[in-house]
Structure 1
Amino acid sequence: MDTSHASVLWDAKSSAPFLAVPTKTDTKYSRGVLGVVTGSKLYPGAAVLNVEAAYRTGLGMVRFLGARRGGDLVLARRPETVCVPGRVQAWLVGSGMDAVTRSHTASVRLQAALQSGMPVVVDAGALDLARSSRGPVVITPHARELAMLIYSLKLAHVEAFADVDQLAASISQDPERWVEVAADEFNVTVLLKGHVTHVATPADDRGARFHARIQSPTTWLATAGTGDVLAGVLGALVATHAEQVLKDPEILGPLAATAAFLHGVAAGRAANGGPIVALDVAEALPTTIAATLVAIL
């Protein structure tokens, strides 16, 4: 976990220790409860993909506290989901939202999660709010989302680029550099999505940081909704390790890398050389996790 300016390849053996296997004394509460504030009128399906992936990754409960339309769809797919407020160990926010069109009600819900002090996975339409969190944060942008975030905050790095498109192209060409820039600028863990995903934590006083790269085994993963599945996987892993995250936010790096690894391998299993849809990836997660756990036996 002390790589500085050099990424390590994250694999099954790296991931296995960060999977929480329930014990005989565990309950649905002790296994981790994930609060989810995602989806919108335009993109309600993101909530379904988040919740499905979280359950398939393994945790005790999901509390969905987003918009009603998303809640109806979530309950139709996953009736075990709880849609009333209560205790949570971690939050997943922003999937299926747009910061530009976000409603006041949605913003209030997002801020409640971010101000809770609990660990938060921040995706898509909540990325602009990530720095307001009172708890540890991991953000999950792709190259263009990261470019738009950097541009919107007018960071010094934008001066060399004519527009967002040019910056996004630079991020795509050199993700290893930009994921570290983002981690340091925002002081959060960054999972920068791509065919090769990079995860970095902010550098410490000695300049050391966690930085891992995860190679996707299939290009079929480039399809609608798979990013929402990844967010759900990461949300579950953070919820099941929330106590450790609060003690040491650096663990968000390995958890994010593990999420990306599981996501990619599940996609490869589901695709089997052919096309897939997002729910296929979620449904392949249990067998992927079982196979990954073998790495530590």
Structure 2
Amino acid sequence: MDTAAEWLEWDERRAREWLAVPRDGDDKYSRGVLGVITGSHDYPGAAVLGVEAAMRAGVGMVRYTGPSAVRHLVMARRPEVVGVGGRVQAWLIGSGMTTARRTLILGGELDQAMAEGVPTVLDAGALDLVHEARGAVVLTPHYRELATLLMETARRAGHGAVKVSAEHGGPPHVDQIAAQPALWAGRAAQQLGATVLLKGAVTYIAHPDGARFTVSGAPSWLATAGTGDVLGGILGALLATRHRTIAQDPDAVAPIAATAALLHALAARRASQGGPITALDVAEAVPATVAALLSGK
């Protein structure tokens, strides 16, 4: 299973079908509201970047309810962000956070978000919450984060119960995942019961029920700090704008995740033009990239 032949390269024609275009009667609520709990004292920029990308990817509203000190930075950059809780259609959680530094107050907010049952992106310091979430989940790890998550899952369950790593006698090491990312993305999705978006030069998107997509073609300049946070914002926005579709078909999270990864890669290419880029450059290129995708140009 999870051989190269079973993976479909996601392209612009397929992605176009998953972009939500506002109708005349839409308002900010019907277009989708994304809840965001990201950033920390150590990494406040992750929240700023994720929110920036989400706002530029077509969501109707962002509610940021992360750490209060970070909230001031987010709203200084994006004053249209709402800084109080309320109903959301999707969550983006964990970018710029670490599991070791989560406070009791923050932990309570995360538990409440996990219990809402809406589509959720779990990144970085919230990947371990996959076992708590009630709605459709997309995990966005890089190789090391996936190795850590599978190690922690194995520790909780006991090595004898870890189906994902039976051939290797234990959870995979980072070098094993790097050597066979398609294999481990697929196995992790099946074990964890969540869509896994494994980041890398080629991004692998695996759904637990079998959908397998790849996204490639991003410029190598994309390997720079903060671009993963931008991807999280794009993905959260697309989940929120497509919340009605997901409610009818939870499996839709996989093609939506692939669309987010492709939009991220195309925006990076547009921003780079062959030269260096920053994460904020990628976020700022998203609207023009969406327009180009929709027009087929």
Task: Please classify the TM superposition score into its range, dividing by the shorter chain length.
Answer: over 0.9
- Tell me the residue number matched to 1:183: 189
Taking a change above 3 Å as real, the CA distance of residues 173 and 4 of structure 1, as seen in their structure-2 partners, is closer
Please give the alpha-carbon distance, in whole angstroms, between the structure 1 residues aligned to 2:112 and 2:94: 13
Deviation string 1:45-81 (CA, Å, 9 cap, x unpaired) is: 1110110000110011000000012110110000000
1:173 equivalent among 169, 179, 183: 179
Which residue does 1:233 correspond to in 2? 234
Q: Distance in 2 between matches of 1:162 and 1:4?
A: 24
Aligned 8 A contact 2:197 2:203 in 1: yes
Identity %: 51
Q: CA separation in 1, counterparts of 2:211 and 2:176?
A: 22
- Is 1:271 aligned to residue 237 of structure 2? no
Q: List 4+ stretches of structure 1 deviating above 4 A.
A: 156-164
* One-letter amino acid of the structure 1 residue matched with residue 141 of structure 2: P
Summarize the alignment of residues 29-44 of structure 1 with structure 2, pairs less than 5 Å apart: 29-44=29-44
CA distance in 2, matches of 1:16, 1:245: 17
2:250 maps to a residue whose letter is P
Q: State the AA in 1 paired with 2:246.
A: V
Aligned pair 1:200/2:206, yes or no? yes
Deviation at 1:216, TM superposition (A): 3.1
Unaligned runs of 5+ in 1: 204-208
Shift of 1:123: 0.6
Q: Where does residue 77 of structure 2 map in the other structure?
A: 77
Residue pairs, 1:38-77, within 5 angstroms: 38-77=38-77
Give the alignment of 1:1-297 within 5 angstroms: 6-154=6-154, 155-158=162-165, 167-203=173-209, 209-295=210-296
Matched to 1:260, the amino acid is A
Distance verdict in 2 for CA 1:250–1:5, change over 3 Å: farther
Conserved? CA contact 1:5–1:211, under 8 Å: no
Amino acid in the other structure paired with 1:247: Q
TM-aligned CA deviation for residue 159 of structure 1: 6.7
Structure 1 SS opposite 2:47: helix
Q: Report if aligned partners of 1:230, 1:263 keep a CA contact under 8 Å in 2.
A: yes
1:5 CA drift (Å): 6.8
Structure 1 residue 35: deviation in Å?
0.4
Partner AA of 2:249 in structure 1 = D
Contact in 1 for aligned 2:164/2:191 (Cα 8 Å): no
Q: 5+ unaligned residues in a row in structure 2: which ranges?
A: 155-161
Q: What is the identity, as a one-letter code, of the residue corresponding to 1:45?
A: G
The structure-2 alpha-carbon separation of the partners of 1:4 and 1:217, relative to structure 1 and needing over 3 Å to count, comes to closer
Please give the per-residue CA displacement for 1:184-228, whole angstroms capped at 9, x wherever unaligned.
00011111101100001012xxxxx21110003300000000000
Q: Which residue of 2 aligns with 1:206?
A: none
**How far apart in 1 are the matches of 2:66 and 2:179?**
35
Query: Structure 1 counterpart of 2:273, which letter?
Result: N
- Using structure 1 for the length normalisation, give the TM-score: 0.93
Query: Secondary structure at 1:27's aligned position in 2?
Result: coil
Offset at residue 86 of structure 1 (A): 1.1
